[in-house]
Structure 1
Amino acid sequence: GYLAYYAKIADISASLSATLIGVLIIAFSNIYWFVLLLTFFILGGMFTKYKYKLKESMGIAEAKGGVRNYENVFSNSTAALILAIAYGIYPQHGELIIFAYLGTVATAAGDTLASEIGTTSNQRPRMITNLKPVRTGIDGGVTLLGELASIGGSAVIAILAVAFGMVDNITAALVITIAGGFLGTNIDSLLGATLQNRGLLSNSGVNFVATFIGAIISAGLYLLLF
């Protein structure tokens, strides 16, 4: 948490929140679960600053130089925290919970990378609900570059999970994590195009809901396929 603060990717509220969540995740699961979530925050911080001046000139850059606050932390990691606690309480369902965890972290990572990289695309975004061209930065707008970035972010989470020994089956890890992250990211866009654009949900609210849905998708795929 404090490293993120000094790296100027998180303010003090975010750093303290991330530290609290990290301690709880490690207590109920293990250090690797925390490292996966930390990877999301690092990737998010890095790519928020990617072509920041360009995004700032278009009026779509994250406020305060991309520094995240406690709301960003909780909206993206509450589902992960709940799943880590569930893992500690219900070890008999460990593998199912692990895949749900991978789905929620992949959704958070995929959505952030899709937003931060996709908005720099030369391609004009299209609204996810009707595929009509829209202005860059509009909630619900998607690009091919953003979709690929989402897949890339999800793949990083899957590969790390295998490297850490959280999952033995690399095929299952890649298929379920990438699918959960990709679908979760696009559900985030769908919620942005509908509920957020109507003022019914904030950006943090959308992230909160989407990360839970990403977990449910990955858990469902695990039960269905493996």
Structure 2
Amino acid sequence: MSIYYIIESAVLLILLFVLALKFRIFDLKGTIAALIVGVIIVVLGSLYWLILMLIFAITAQMATKYRIKEKTKMKLQEGENGERHASNVIYAAVIGIAIAAMHFAKIGGFPYFLIFGVSFASVNADTFASEIGVFDSKVYMITGFKKITPGVNGGVSLLGEGAALLGAFIIGLSYIILDFHGFAIIPLLAITILGFVGCQIDSILGAVFENKGKMSKGQVNAVSTLLAVALAFVIFI
């Protein structure tokens, strides 16, 4: 690890910390947790991995802050004003950290950076779907397609599904720019589709387990991401 790599990483980590506090992406504990996760990713992955995670954090927060005053009136906002907590950070990043650890240990010959992208595409797709989809009046339960109130776990809508695709696509596009420095259709489609699939799994788990109090929101996020990543591993065996 060169001195230049350490300096560049430190600058990005400081940027992450400052942006998180300035724009209230996380509360204080969440910001510290994000900083720790960033350090782990820098050590186990690379600078590009950290940049991809930063893109996720920034775009997810943009979706979270979208029409935040209206969401607050509807009592559907994260935290008091869209900020997320340490538990949100941990559940969102735990699968990505595991992938980075496998990459660092050189287990198998998998495209770990791409699979890392899938993990955050899944989380970003879910974030976009839940934060933007609540403004669609036509929401249906994914398990029975019964019309429900916006914001209920397991609810899907045309606006939410479109937002989910956008969230996953942003991560896929960011990945190919970082890894290929240009356009590459196969990895772009792989990350976008698998991220979108992860979001659908999240909705199913939310409908079947979270609504019954058998899983927390964070657990649903982590398990749905894990299943999307497991599918990616199966595809690339």
Alignment partner, residue 167 of structure 2: 153
Alignment partner, residue 99 of structure 1: 114
Q: CA-atom RMSD, angstroms?
A: 1.7
Q: Offset at 1:137?
A: 0.8
Alignment partner, residue 212 of structure 2: 198
TM-score normalized with structure 2 length: 0.88
What is the identity, as a one-letter code, of the residue corresponding to 2:23? A
Alignment pair present for 1:20 and 2:36 = yes
**Aligned to 1:115, which of 130, 155, 164?**
130
Q: Within 2, Cα distance between the matches of 1:185 and 1:102?
A: 14
Q: Within 1, Cα distance between the matches of 2:215 and 2:114?
A: 27
CA contact (8 A) 1:98 1:166 kept: no
Q: Offset at 1:12?
A: 1.1
Q: Offset at 1:219?
A: 2.4
Q: Offset at 1:167?
A: 8.7
Alignment partner, residue 73 of structure 2: 57
Alignment partner, residue 156 of structure 2: 142
Alignment partner, residue 172 of structure 1: 186
Q: Within 1, Cα distance between the matches of 2:193 and 2:68?
A: 29
**Aligned to 1:188, which of 185, 202, 208?**
202
Q: Measured at CA, do residues 66 and 75 of structure 1 come closer, stay the same or move farther in structure 2, by a change above 3 Å?
A: same
Q: Offset at 1:208?
A: 1.3
Q: Which runs of 5+ in 2 are unaligned?
A: 1-16
Aligned length: 221
Q: Within 2, Cα distance between the matches of 1:93 and 1:169?
A: 23
**Aligned to 2:104, which of 88, 102, 126?**
88
**Aligned to 2:228, which of 201, 214, 225?**
214
CA contact (8 A) 1:99 1:219 kept: no
What is the identity, as a one-letter code, of the residue corresponding to 2:133? G
User: Secondary structure of 1:197's partner?
Assistant: helix
What is the identity, as a one-letter code, of the residue corresponding to 1:195? F
User: Secondary structure of 1:65's partner?
Assistant: coil
What is the identity, as a one-letter code, of the residue corresponding to 2:141? M
User: Secondary structure of 1:10's partner?
Assistant: coil
CA contact (8 A) 1:103 1:217 kept: no
User: Secondary structure of 2:89's partner?
Assistant: helix
Which ranges of 4 or more aligned residues in structure 1 deviate by more than 3 Å?
166-169
Q: Which runs of 5+ in 1 are unaligned?
A: none
Q: Within 1, Cα distance between the matches of 2:182 and 2:46?
A: 17
Q: Within 2, Cα distance between the matches of 1:114 and 1:130?
A: 19
Q: 1:184-204: CA deviations, max 9, x gaps?
A: 001001000010011001111
Alignment partner, residue 8 of structure 1: 24
Alignment partner, residue 131 of structure 1: 145
